[in-house]
Amino acid sequence: MKDCNSCGKCCIKYSNGALSASQQEIELWEVFNPDIAAYVNKGEIWADPKSGKLLEICPFLRQETAITSTNVKYSCDIYFDRPDDCKFYPSNVQEMILDDCEMLEAQDLKDLKKAQAKLDIIMTDSHR
């Protein structure tokens, strides 16, 4: 299994209402990060601050390379304050397969149990 290559597939797929934030996360944003809290509407993230409608794409996702490049990379403007849904992704190999995650390698698909063990090790550092 490869390290995350910042392809952005997960961020794009789970935009438009597919993510959630706990009430505690929202309250912390309201106090310490009002710029993030502005994109919460009735407990849903990521909503347009003016209209309240859910956005198609996370407003904090930034494309780092030209769209014409074969290896488009993304970054997160709120990486250290991102929702737990983001911090804990991916949680399992099956989810990665469904999402066409680029961390997976051919040998991972041959031994899903071993791949899950690798993922568990990788994700221990991600939960900060």
Instruction: Please calculate the CA angle 21-98-105 and round it to the nearest 5 degrees.
Output: 115
Residues 6 or more apart in contact with residue 76 via CB below 8 angstroms: 11, 58, 60, 61, 62, 82, 86
Per-residue pLDDT of the chain in tens (128 residues, 90 and over written 9): 998 899 999 999 888 778 899 999 999 999 999 999 999 999 999 999 999 999 999 999 999 876 666 778 999 999 999 999 999 888 899 999 999 999 999 999 999 999 999 999 888 866 55
CA distance 128 to 124: 9
